[in-house]
Chain A
Amino acid sequence: MYNISVSPHIHSKESISRIMWDVVIALIPALLASIYFFGMRAFWMEVVTVIAAVLSEIFIKLLLKRKITISDGSAVVTGLLVAYNMPVGAPFYVPVVGAVFAIVIVKELFGGLGNNIFNPALAGRVFVMFAWLPEMTTWHAPLKSGWWQHGFNFFSAKLDAVTTATPLAVAKLQGLSNLVAQFSDKADMYWNLFIGNCGGCIGETSALALLIGALYLLKRKVIIPVIPVTYIATVFVVTYLAGADPVFHILAGGLMLGAFFMATDYVTTPITIKGMIIFGIGAGLMTVLLRLKGGLPEGVSFSILLMNTLSPLIDRYTAKRKIYGYKK
């Protein structure tokens, strides 16, 4: 027996498809940045991954005899996010398997959109990361002179960049001063990390492009900034207290992508404000712990996935009763 307050009810224009297509629009700046820094191969990787995600969703929906809901755009978002988490040099089967795993196993086998425990794109990334660790950890430096000087070959999927290490890996293994030495000074390093001119996954390097997308989502009220702000602030404060460079840690790696586009997934994060704050702080603490003390240089994916598992528990202890009506 559910009690719902008496009419009139406010009718919202929100729907899954409006939200998902808004997220797709918000991801476009990062897509342009990925092409700008890593060339056409990044673009084709994104196209192939999105196609793989959509096709695998159609396939699994037919197999499980569920209604096909491709038009809601959730498979497109998952495919794009999986692609954004790939190094540009990865063979194309890596993001394809990641997208198929994300859609088929992480999303549909757990009951489809709304029932998945883990963020599909992140779980897909972690799966392929441990499946093909060498391919997933070989990084390429951005094209030094930009694609316009190489000649704009639309169909080119070849790599013409040199391998490098991500800023986080350099800072971890050789110390931050060695990383700063690669740039003219510290401010120059921050600026290059901010615009995305550094090695890393194709969609994560450009904090600027991701922030433009995030602003769009905030303006359209698709996301509220609680988790991203607490997450990034926690990373900033804890790295400062730990004696590391806080500005470097919020600009480097996948923090911006993770905080704005993955830790704000409606399904796998808490629904209450208090819960969101706990989620953001927890993810921030885990990220710093993994980055500074873990074996791998980056920890954003793992910390968000870990907090995903805690979300139902956080919701249980923070949910106010009587929000949407209550059970007698």
Chain B
Amino acid sequence: MKIAEFTKGFIKENPIFVIMLGLCPTLAVSTKTVYGLGMGLATTVVLLGSNTIISLIKNFIPDKIRIPSYIVVIATFVTIVDYMLHAYVPPLHKALGIFIPLIVVNCIILGRAEAFASKNNVGDSILDALGIGLGFTLSLTILALIRELLGSGTITLKMLDYGWVWKIKGFKPLSIMILPPGAFITIGILMGIFNHFKMKAEGKK
């Protein structure tokens, strides 16, 4: 097991800002910090499950039908997550809406199955899933935090009765930031900053 498989997901192979996968849910649900966090964690759970199972059964999957096979595994975990969220955190389930079932077709998950789990052992696949999943969660939370802060003047980290909501007093929020253009502008700027630091780090080596 290599620890690098875990850490690469945060900067070097950050799913949103570097490989640019999974942008559709990213743009859609990042209007409140807690939604970003919730979406990221839900995706991480699915990714963890699918990567583990796929790396375990990779030798039994015929090459020609591997994509449908992966989708079956992924869809199973998405259904589990969907029902769990519906049962235990209904407000989050309601807020994320269609984007939970759509995790099935999230490119990050299929991409990791195809590019990593089908070629590596279980230990590495779990680390890879955790790294990429938490990297995705972190990026999504940062994006949602910036958008919510500028677009609503609040930071919401409250779900059910846990957590807290922080509000800036006397700030007139820029409502464009919680609309689609705000998502594109924020993601563009963050992507630029990420690439700047990535290029700097690579230049030093």
Contacts and interface: CB of A to CB of B under 8 A. Distances in A.
Interface of A: 91, 93, 97, 105, 109, 127-128, 130-133, 135
Contact of A130 (B172, B176, B188, B192): B176
Given A105-B185, A109-B192, A132 B172 contact: yes
A130 B174 CA distance: 8
B175 A132 contact: yes
A131 B185 contact: no
B94 to A, nearest CB: 26
A130 B181 CA distance: 10
A132 B174 contact: yes
6 contacts: A105-B189, A109-B192, A127-B176, A131-B177, A132-B175, A135-B172
B20 interface: no
Which 10 A-B residue pairs are closest in the complex by CB-CB distance? Answer: A131-B174, A130-B176, A131-B176, A131-B175, A127-B176, A132-B172, A130-B179, A130-B175, A133-B175, A105-B185
- Which of B175, B176, B177 has the most chain A CB atoms inside 10 A of its CB? B176
- Which of B174, B175, B188, B189 has the most chain A CB atoms inside 10 A of its CB? B174
Contacts of A132: 172, 174-175
Contacts of B172: 91, 93, 132, 135
Label chain B's interface by main secondary structure.
helix
A130 B173 CA distance: 11
Given A105-B189, A132-B175, 9 more contacts: A93-B172, A97-B174, A105-B185, A127-B181, A130-B181, A131-B174, A131-B175, A131-B177, A135-B172
Contacts of B179: 130
Contacts of B177: 131
Contacts of A128: 174
Contacts of A127: 176, 181
A182 to B, nearest CB: 32
Interface in B157-205: 172, 174-177, 179, 181, 185, 188-189, 192
A133 B151 CA distance: 13
A128 B192 CA distance: 23
A90 to B, nearest CB: 11
Contacts of B174: 97, 128, 131-132
A115 to B, nearest CB: 15
B158 to A, nearest CB: 25
A73 to B, nearest CB: 27
